[in-house]
Each structure stands twice: as structure tokens, then as C-alpha cells.
Amino acid sequence: MTDQALLLPQEEKQFSLAKDAFIRLVANRLAVVGMVLVVFLFFVAIFGPYLTPYDFLSQDLLARNKPPSWEHWFGTDDLGRDILSRVIYGSRTAVIVGFSTVSFSLVIGLFLGALGGYFGGKVDAFIVWLIDITMSIPSLLLVIVINVSLKPPLVNWMDAQFVATGNEFYRNTIWVDFVLVFGSLALIKWPKAARIIRGQILSIRNKNYVVAAEALGVPTSKIVRRYVIPNAIGPIIVYISAALGEAMVLESSFSFLGVGVRPPIPSWGNMISDGLRIWQLYPHVLAAPAAVLAVVTIAFSFLGDGLNDALNPRQWK
Amino acid sequence: MAKLLEVNNLHTRFKVRNGYLHAVNGVSFSLDKGEMLGVVGESGCGKSVSMMSLIRLLPPAAQITEGEVLLDGEDITHASVSRVNAIRGSKVGMIFQDPMTSLNPFMKIGDQLIEGIVYHKKITKADALQQAAKYLKMVGISNAEHRLNEYPHQLSGGMRQRVMIAMALLNEPSLVIADEPTTALDVTIQAQIVELVKSLREKLNMSIIWITHDLSLLAGMVDRIMVMYGGYVVEEAVLDDIYKSPLHPYTIGLLKSIPSLKTEAGSRLPSIPGAPPNLFSQPTGCPFAPRCTYRVDRCQSEVPALTAVPGETGERPHRVACWVDMRGKGVKQ
């Protein structure tokens, strides 16, 4: 046996797991559709102010409820505002809410879940109890309660501060919606992430391949990096994708019900709510935000499915 | 022959909710260079835990309370964690029971094989992969270079076990501990793996500890057999002595329980009545006494010590822990 014969054949390239997964993801057509749409959504959300043909607030009362045309691609609403511009700004609202909710819930969830899974025993029992309690809180009810109990006093206090000090900081109360409503959403959405990471760590810690690596004398830091994290990360990435979509839909639902982002800040939810009042006469007012919301939801679920398959080598053919 | 491994009075226990579970109770044995030892016993008799204790590969709840393990004269039980890691990676190889779950599904065979040597031998990845391919060929995997680039799920159970064996051998260890390596495989593959290990042993001159609950598997493979029960070594002798003149009632029962082709259809298969002992409480007498048909009064009050008697074949002594002298059928004093 010569050394030459042992060399790896040239045509067989070594790919990392991430690259392998990406190749698999791209091979899945629906996932690519989802990915393109999601990337497009983020692009629109980030560069929104440069893309909107009109100011999303400017009203043209002579051109109310106009159907789609070259001047207004998605038409105008009942105050003569350009619907395309409002949909674009609505995507900003959705993405901000989606990201803040998911990242907050992820940070809390990962921390508590990993803590429970790693230490076990009483710590774990307490965290599981906390998860159960939190999951029993209905999110809609919580958001409504916060809306009626915490938000008005805070907004009033800020108004008073503005009058008293003249500080511009207190003038804009819109971000209070974001922080209060969706901060509270994050506070009750973390259990799902916590449960995922806890289960992952619990099962992987006792897996035979971790023991096998220990038997080879692989150091702990390397075991965590090469064995525990790759095996745990798949479900987390899938969770992020699914949770982003879910959070955006939740934001729309709350705004639709009037407990989310307040007009005139556009959200797909409050636009759908507006359109619903006049849809028999002007269906385009409802159609645009509803269609965008539907497409975004489907895109995230395609992407999530594709990621799930791509990140799991056991499902590869 | 030179001694490779010496284990003296090893005790391992697990901390559980209501106290301690005594899994290993004073195990002592030694292993020569190039020797192959079979460790036999029922499930839960402490055979895996005692062998895992050798390289301190134990769950956090377990602790070695007493005894020492000397590998090449170096005490492993009191070595630092980093030293134990180094020993695991260079002197001792492990082959695990279940090849289906013992490979990381997220790592390629090649990456996983070389994990240990890249870290411990400080060689380049390319060199390590060449080495890995060489060992894959040695364990009988065709198209080895291609397999390096595959994931565990793309291999069959027998092939995965071969990969596990290659992984254990890659460090060129002087001692290989095989923990029921054929239990999860079907009988034909089992025979192949046994043959493979036998040939590799001759080729590489390693010492092997083969843990199993299947006494018949060890015939024609190992040099010596050690029988464990309830965390104790109850008998230890060269292969022929164990098969031809077993001295412990438990070993006799185990040998009788092997169904043979002569067993008549419809007849009951022989078995040892009762179940392995509860390891929570340490027995006052012989752990096997409750199930033993040769039991005498002394068995329930005193734990018999492992004592050497002359072996029937060869000069190696036959060690047995029993109050009854099975050769003369009298009670020992």
C-alpha cells in the first residue's frame, strides 16, 4: 500500500457542515422561494425610506380610495395615502417587532433552558415550573391588560414631562407601543425557546457519541463546540425562522385588534383593519396588506421547513 | 510477560436519591501486554462500570472511592483531569456497545476519526486523514477514502462498528476496552467483528478487555475470563479452566444457560433462578447466595474472598470467591 493510494481523490471535495447544509437548502425549491422572499422583506424593511414613492403620512383627499395605477401601484386608502408606501413602512414595523420579540425571547429562553438542561435537579425543576406558569398566560390577554393598565399612565407621564421640560425625547410616544407591547410579548414567548434548548442539552449530554469523544480524550471545550452545539443548533435555527414569522403575524393581529401599534404608524394589521370597513366598495385597500401578510407568513414557513431538512444530516438522501 | 494494567481493590459507587449504589466493590485484576481478557456477567453486575472506572469515564454521579488503577505503572485514579484526557487519547481505546448512536451525526466519519489524534499527536489534518483511511482499510471498509467524507447515517450498523473500532485503534493504544461491541449487531456481523478483532490483535499486539454477557462468544477468542457478579469478581481463570472446570456456582449456572444444538425441542431452557442483587444495600454475605443452589450457612454471613487455587491447565492460578469447594464439594475453612 503506497502513500499515494491513500490520498483523497481530487474530485471529492471536503465541505463543512454549514456548506453542506446550504447546498441542501438551495436544492429545495420551496425553501429558496421562502429565502428569497424573506431576504426581500428584510431589504425592503431596512431600506424602506429610500424605496417609498410617497410619504406614508401625506394625505391626498382628492384621490381617496383610488384603485391601483401607475402613480399608486397598490392604490390609495380612504385618506388618499399611498398604500404601497404604507405597506413598505408596515414591513418595518413587522420586522422591528419580529426581531425584538424573537431576540429577547431567545436570550431569555436560551439562558434559562441551558441552565435547566445543564444543571438539572432543583434548578431544572424551578425552570420547568417557570416555563409551565409562563405558558399558561394567554398572550392576547396579557397584551390587552398591559395596553389598558400600563400604557396610558406611561404615555400621560411622558406628555407631562414634555410639557414641563420641553425635552424632545418625551414627545414621541410611538416607541412606547413597541417596547411595552412587544417587550411583554417577548416575556411570555421565551418558554418555547427554553424548552427546545433544554431538551437538546439534556439529550445530547448523555449521547453515546459524547461519551465516545470523551473516551478519545477530546477536551470539554471542543466537545461543546463540535458535538453539543451542532446537534442543538438545528432546532434553534428552525425555531428562529418560525418564531419570526409568528411574531410578525402576532404584531399584525394585535394591531388589527387595536392593541398593537397605533395609527397613524402603519402596520399590516391596522391597514387590514381599516380595509375591512370598506372592502365591499374598495377591495384593493384590504387586498394589498392582506396579501403581503399572507406571503410573508408562507415564506417563513417554507424557509423554516427547508432549514429543518437542510440542517439535519439524518434526513439527507 | 510484562504487566500492562494492574487494578487493585477498585470501588466505584453512584450517588442516588436515597444514598449510594455500590456498582463496583473491590475489583482486582491484572492484564499482561498483548493479553485478551473477557469480562462476563449479567446486566447490572458492574462489568461496564468497573472497566469505565479504569479510565475514569464515568457520569458525574459516580465516584471512585477506593483502590488504584496502574497503567504502565502510572496511577490513573489519582491523575489530573488533563493527564487522564491524555491517557485516554494515547494509551487506551474504547469500543462502544451501540454503533448506531456512538457517532456524532453532524460530523463526517473522517473528521470524527481524526478528532483524537489531531489533538493528542499534533499532526496535520491531511496526515491524520491518511492515517484514518489506512485504519478504515484495516478494519475492512472498502472505498475508505470515499467513506471518510460520508456521514454516519450513510453507513450500515456493521460498518459503523468497524468505524468505531478504527477510531479506537487510531491512537495506537496499548489497551483497548470493548464494551459489548457486538451486542447491537446481528449474528453474522458479530462473527465478522470477532474475527476482525482477533486478527487486529495479532497484527497490532494490543491488550484487549472484551466486556460481554455472552460467554459462548469468548470461546476461542480470549486468553482469560473474569466473571463478575454484583460488583464483585467471583471467578477468574484462563479460558479452558473456566469452560472445563468452573469453580463458582454462578459461572456454572452461566455455562449451563448457554443453549446448545442438543437441547431438545420443547424442553425448558436452563436458567439461573432469581435476579441480580440490589446494589443499594451491600450484602452481608456472598452476593450470589440468594440464588445459589450450593449455599451453606457461611455464605449468608461472610463475603468470600477471591482466593487463588492451582489451575488445571497452565501455570496461571484459578481465582474464585466461594465458600464451597466445588472440586471436592466441601466447605472451605
For the stretch B155-181, pLDDT in tens is 888 888 889 888 888 888 889 999 888
Summarised one tens digit per residue, pLDDT across range B107-138 is: 888 888 888 888 787 888 888 898 899 888 88
pLDDT of B331: 64
Picking from B94, B116, B145, the nearest residue to A8 by CB comes out as: B145
Distance, C-alpha B132 to centroid of its chain:
25
Ramachandran category for residue A65: left, alpha or beta (phi over 0 → left; psi -120 to 50 → alpha): left
Q: Is the pLDDT of residue A8 over 60?
A: no
Q: How many CB atoms lie within 10 A of CB A230?
A: 18
Cα separation, A288 vs A74, in Å, equals 6
Q: Is the pLDDT of residue B209 over 90?
A: yes
Give the rounded percent of residues in chain A with a pLDDT score beyond 90. Answer: 5
C-alpha cell at B48: 461496564
Q: How many CB atoms lie within 10 A of CB A185?
A: 24
Picking from B86, B137, B145, the nearest residue to A217 by CB comes out as: B86
Ramachandran category for residue B141: left, alpha or beta (phi over 0 → left; psi -120 to 50 → alpha): beta
Q: Whose CA is closest to B243, among B313, B139, B173?
A: B313
The band of A17, judged by pLDDT with boundaries at 50, 70 and 90, is low
Give the rounded percent of residues in chain A with a pLDDT score beyond 70. Answer: 93
Q: Is the pLDDT of residue A71 over 80?
A: no
Phi–psi pair at A158, nearest 5 degrees: -70, -40
Which residues in chain A are contacts of B149 at CB distance < 8 A? 8, 12, 14
Q: Is the pLDDT of residue A170 over 60?
A: yes
pLDDT of A316: 57
Burial A69-106 (b: 16+ CB within 10 A, else e): eeebebbbbbebbbbbbbbbbbbbbbbbbbbbbbebbb
Q: Is the pLDDT of residue A7 over 60?
A: no
Strands B318-320 and B307-309: antiparallel
Q: Which helix (H) or strand (E) holds B236?
A: strand B232-238
Q: Is the pLDDT of residue A50 over 60?
A: yes
Widest pairwise Cα distance in chain B = 66
Cα separation, A259 vs A246, in Å, equals 17
Picking from A6, A14, A212, the nearest residue to B130 by CB comes out as: A6
Cβ contact (<8 Å) for A217 and B98?
no
Summarised one tens digit per residue, pLDDT across range B211-245 is: 988 888 888 888 999 999 988 999 999 988 888 88
pLDDT of B201: 86
Does domain A17-48+58-315 fall into CATH 1.20.1290.10?
no
Q: Whose CA is closest to B282, among B12, B7, B22?
A: B22
Average pLDDT of span A111-116:
85
CA-based torsion, B83, B86, B92, B97: positive or negative = positive
Q: Any residues with CB less than 8 A from the CB of A71 and at least 6 apart, and which?
A: none
Q: Whose CA is closest to A96, among A215, A247, A233?
A: A247
Cα separation, A176 vs B104, in Å, equals 47
pLDDT of A295: 92
Picking from B106, B164, B167, the nearest residue to A231 by CB comes out as: B106
Q: Are A95 and A42 in contact (CB under 8 A)?
A: yes
Q: Are B10 and B30 in contact (CB under 8 A)?
A: no
What's the alpha-carbon Rg for chain A, to the nearest Å?
Answer: 24
pLDDT of A126: 93
Which residues in chain A are contacts of B102 at CB distance < 8 A? 208-209, 211-212
Q: With H, G, I as helix, E, B as strand and everything else as coil, classify residue A83.
A: helix
Summarised one tens digit per residue, pLDDT across range B35-76 is: 999 999 888 788 888 998 988 888 878 888 988 999 888 898
Residue of A216, A220, A224, A237 best to disrupt the B interface, most CBs of B under 10 A? A216
Measured in angstroms, the CA of B41 and the nearest CA of chain A are apart by 22
HEC string for B92-147: EEEECCCCCCCCCCCCCHHHHHHHHHHHHHCCCHHHHHHHHHHHHHHCCCCCHHHH
Average pLDDT of span A19-40:
85
Cα separation, B326 vs B249, in Å, equals 8
Q: Is the pLDDT of residue A5 over 60?
A: no
Helices (H), chain B: 47-54, 81-90, 109-121, 125-138, 144-148, 157-169, 187-204, 215-218, 239-244, 249-256, 297-301
Q: Any residues with CB less than 8 A from the CB of B220 and at least 6 apart, and which?
A: none
Distance, C-alpha B59 to centroid of its chain:
18
Q: Are A251 and A266 in contact (CB under 8 A)?
A: no
pLDDT of A3: 42
Cα separation, A284 vs A186, in Å, equals 33
Q: Are A180 and A154 in contact (CB under 8 A)?
A: yes
Place of cell 472498502: B142
Q: Is the pLDDT of residue B89 over 90?
A: no
Summarised one tens digit per residue, pLDDT across range A269-307 is: 888 888 888 888 888 888 888 998 999 989 988 888 888
Cα separation, B115 vs A222, in Å, equals 10
Q: Are A271 and A90 in contact (CB under 8 A)?
A: yes
pLDDT of B62: 86
Which residues in chain A are contacts of B85 at CB distance < 8 A? 217, 219
Look over chain B and give the mean of its residue pLDDT values, rounded to a whole number.
Answer: 85
C-alpha cell at B62: 459516580
pLDDT of B211: 92
Q: Is the pLDDT of residue A85 over 70?
A: yes
Q: With H, G, I as helix, E, B as strand and everything else as coil, classify residue B62.
A: strand
Q: Is the pLDDT of residue A1 over 60?
A: no
CATH number for the domain whose boundaries are B3-91+177-186+203-331: 3.40.50.300
- Select, from the ranges A242-246, B95-99, B182-186, the one with the highest average predicted confidence (pLDDT): A242-246
For chain A, domain boundaries: 17-48+58-315
Cβ contact (<8 Å) for B137 and A1?
yes
Which residues in chain A are contacts of B89 at CB distance < 8 A? 216-218
pLDDT of B91: 87
Q: With H, G, I as helix, E, B as strand and everything else as coil, classify residue B315.
A: coil
Which residues in chain A are contacts of B167 at CB distance < 8 A? 212, 216
Average pLDDT of span A223-238:
81
Q: Is the pLDDT of residue A10 over 50?
A: no
Cis before A264? omega within 30:
yes
Cβ contact (<8 Å) for A231 and B96?
no
Cα separation, A181 vs A104, in Å, equals 13
Q: Which helix (H) or strand (E) holds A301?
A: helix A283-310
Q: Report long-range pairs for A42-50 (Cβ below 8 Å, ≥24 apart).
A: A42/A95, A44/A88, A44/A91, A45/A91, A45/A92, A45/A94, A45/A95, A45/A96, A46/A95, A48/A88, A48/A89, A48/A91, A48/A92
Q: Any residues with CB less than 8 A from the CB of A219 and at least 6 apart, and which?
A: B85, B119
Cα separation, B31 vs B144, in Å, equals 33
Among A113-122, B18-27, B317-326, whose mean pLDDT is lowest? Answer: A113-122
Picking from B55, B92, B146, the nearest residue to A12 by CB comes out as: B146
Summarised one tens digit per residue, pLDDT across range B239-262 is: 888 888 888 989 988 888 887 777
Distance, C-alpha B333 to centroid of its chain:
32
Q: Whose CA is closest to B276, among B291, B293, B295?
A: B291
Partner B contacted by A67 (CB < 8 A): no
Cβ contact (<8 Å) for A226 and B130?
no
Q: Is the pLDDT of residue B80 over 50?
A: yes
Which residues in chain B are contacts of A9 at CB distance < 8 A? 145-146
pLDDT of A204: 84
